[in-house]
């Protein structure tokens, strides 16, 4: 009996040693208490090597869980990740309101244009309403062109601006299976790859995330299997290119035909055949001219791209009779300063005169200099471009023909 008790005691001591060894070899938890939540989280135990996502989202303030969700106390990967919003991308539009939104963040006041998430949901890049309407009209599913449907049902954020405002107030969800025409079904199956809710096509040329990160996380040309922990407002044209200029729709097959090449030379192989474009369009980045509401919506629903995208050549260059519209920054509340603050390579300050669009949106990287001339600083490359004006030039444009296509008649670059 004594021997048995001795053996059992040794067995117990071994078991205790195993337990102690195991407990002392666990990873040391790394705690973080973000000031916005005040709740301790331990994500950094494994993710300490990730770069900070952006200067606007310092980790000491935001932590990880506020945006990503997940189990903040769990040190088991499966459990910790089980409740993450949107998997690896919390800005997916299915969860962006929870991750990026909220009245203190990007679902703030519409007057201050802090209602980004709500506006993006109304944007054509999300609704895809123009393409859907065009196809449904072509194949007889709707009797007129104005949009009736979107990728998901959506309501405009604002009431009609007046009796002549014919923009839709709501769009129903487009359900290809409910369509009777085979081509519309095929369109639903083959062609819905470039809106903000859609997963991208495979390949580095299409490498983008969904939702906010589709534009704000620079993924172009990168391997999406590797984490890209970055948010930016400095969005190069290559990121836009993960959707745009990537191929053509074949209306006979009702399919998307990706272009086989990866464009590298913007002048010669960036655009589609027969496209007309000027120097601005192959040297600048898209966001140098196109505004935030063109890309992200303004809370109204639009019927097609031509309605939502309103910046023309004249926005920056003016016309025969007048220079471009301008505004002098009078105080710190001017939204142009906020936007320049997010891209601090451009030294905008109170007193500067900047170009604004006909809707009053600042082209805040296009300033009027002391001598009255205009200079654009490219947001991504910081290259300075003098901007010539139409007024006083030898241009013989018809004052009634102010859309860019008329400018292209003379100024298009020949490849």
Partner 1 sequence: MRPSFFHHLHPPSIPARQSRFRYTLGAGGYSVFLILVLLFSGALLMFYYIPTPAEAGPSIQMITFLVPFGALVRNLHYWSAQILVVVAAIHMLRVIFTGAYSPPRRFNYLLGLSLFVLSLFLDFTGYVLRWDEGVRWALVAGTNLVHSIPTIGPGLYRILMGGAQPGPATLTRFYSWHIFGLVVILLGIGVWHIFRVRRDGGIAVPPPEQRQTPERISRFELVRREGLAALIGIAVLLLVAAFIPAPLAPPMSEVTIQVADSKAPWFFLWVQQLLKSGDAFWMGVFVPLAVLLFLGSLPYLLTAIRSDELGRWFPPSGRLAQILVLALVLAILGLTIIAALPPPA
Candidate list 14, 36, 257, 267; residue touching partner 1; CB under 8 A: 14
Question: Phi, psi (5° rounding) for residue 387?
Answer: -110, 110
Would you count residue 42 as binding partner 1 (CB under 8 A)? yes
- Of 95, 231, 386, residue with least CA distance to 87: 95
Min dist. Cβ of residue 228 to partner 1 (A): 24
- Name the residue nearer to partner 1 (CB basis): 16 or 153: 16
What is the tally of helices (H) and strands (E) in the chain? 20, 10
Tell which positions 73-112 bind partner 1, by CB under 8 A: 73-76, 79, 82-83
Among 23, 161, 274, 370, binds partner 1 (CB under 8 A): 23
Q: Please, which residue, 22 or 164, has the CB nearer to partner 1? A: 22
Query: Using CA atoms, how far apart are residues 2 and 317, in angstroms rounded to an integer?
Result: 101
Give 23 or 370: the residue with its C-beta nearer to partner 1: 23
Residue of 63, 68, 71, 212 that binds partner 1 (CB under 8 A): 71
| Minimum distance, C-beta of residue 83 to partner 1, in the bound complex (Å) | 5
Closest by CA position to 168, among listed 116, 125, 127, 112: 127
Give the CA angle between residues 381, 261, 206 to the nearest 5°.
Answer: 65
Based on the shown chain and the rule CB under 8 A, indicate whether residue 16 belongs to the binding site for partner 1.
yes
Taking contact as CB under 8 A, which single stretch among the options 22-30, 150-158, 198-206, 303-311 is the one that binds partner 1? Answer: 22-30
Neighbouring CB atoms inside 10 A of 350's CB total 11
Q: At what angle do helices 182-190 and 129-138 cross, to 10 degrees?
A: 160
Pick from 166, 163, 133: nearest CA to 151: 133
What minimum distance in Å lies between the beta carbon of 364 and partner 1? 40
Our finding on whether 44 is near partner 1 (CB under 8 A) is no
d(CA 306, CA 255): 23
What is the number of other CB atoms lying within 10 angstroms of the CB of residue 277?
18
Q: Which is nearer to partner 1, 11 or 322 (CB)?
A: 11
What does the binding site for partner 1 look like in residue numbers (CB under 8 A)? 1, 4-5, 8-9, 11-12, 14-16, 18-19, 22-23, 29, 42, 71-76, 79, 82-83
């Amino acid at each position: 009996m004594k021997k048995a008790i001795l053996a059992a005691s040794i067995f117990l001591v071994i078991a205790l040693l195993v337990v102690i060894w195991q407990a002392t070899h666990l990873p040391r938890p790394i705690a973080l208490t973000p000031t916005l939540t005040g709740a301790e989280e331990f994500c950094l135990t494994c993710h300490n090597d990730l770069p900070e996502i952006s200067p606007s989202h310092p980790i000491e303030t935001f932590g990880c869980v506020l945006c990503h969700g997940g189990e903040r106390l769990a040190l088991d990967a499966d459990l910790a990740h089980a409740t993450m919003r949107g998997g690896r991308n919390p800005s997916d539009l299915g969860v962006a309101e929870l991750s990026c939104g909220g009245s203190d963040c990007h679902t703030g006041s519409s007057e201050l244009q802090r209602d980004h998430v709500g506006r993006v949901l109304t944007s054509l890049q999300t609704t895809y309403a123009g393409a859907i309407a065009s196809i449904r009209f072509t194949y007889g599913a709707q009797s007129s062109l104005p949009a009736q449907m979107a990728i998901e049902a959506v309501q405009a954020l604002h009431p009609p601006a007046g009796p002549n405002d014919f923009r839709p107030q709501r769009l129903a969800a487009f359900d290809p299976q409910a369509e009777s025409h085979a081509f519309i079904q095929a369109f639903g199956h083959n062609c819905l790859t470039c809106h903000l809710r859609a997963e991208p096509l495979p390949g580095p040329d299409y490498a983008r995330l969904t939702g906010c990160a589709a534009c704000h996380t620079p993924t172009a040309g990168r391997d999406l299997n590797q984490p890209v922990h970055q948010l930016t407002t400095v969005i190069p044209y290559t990121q836009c290119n993960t959707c745009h200029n990537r191929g053509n729709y074949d209306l006979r097959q009702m399919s998307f035909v990706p272009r086989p090449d990866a464009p590298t030379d913007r002048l010669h192989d960036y655009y589609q055949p027969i496209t007309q474009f000027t120097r601005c369009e192959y040297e600048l980045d898209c966001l140098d001219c196109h505004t935030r509401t063109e890309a992200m919506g303004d809370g109204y629903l639009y019927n097609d791209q031509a309605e939502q995208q309103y910046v023309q050549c004249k926005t920056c260059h003016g016309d025969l009779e007048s220079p471009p519209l301008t505004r002098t920054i009078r105080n710190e509340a001017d939204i142009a300063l906020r936007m320049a603050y997010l891209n601090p390579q451009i030294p905008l300050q109170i007193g500067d005169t900047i170009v604004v669009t006909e809707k009053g949106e600042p082209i805040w990287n296009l300033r009027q200099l002391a001598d009255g001339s205009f200079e654009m600083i490219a947001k991504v490359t910081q290259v300075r471009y003098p901007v010539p004006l139409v007024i006083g030039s030898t241009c013989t444009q018809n004052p009634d023909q102010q859309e860019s296509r008329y400018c292209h008649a003379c100024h298009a670059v020949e490849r």
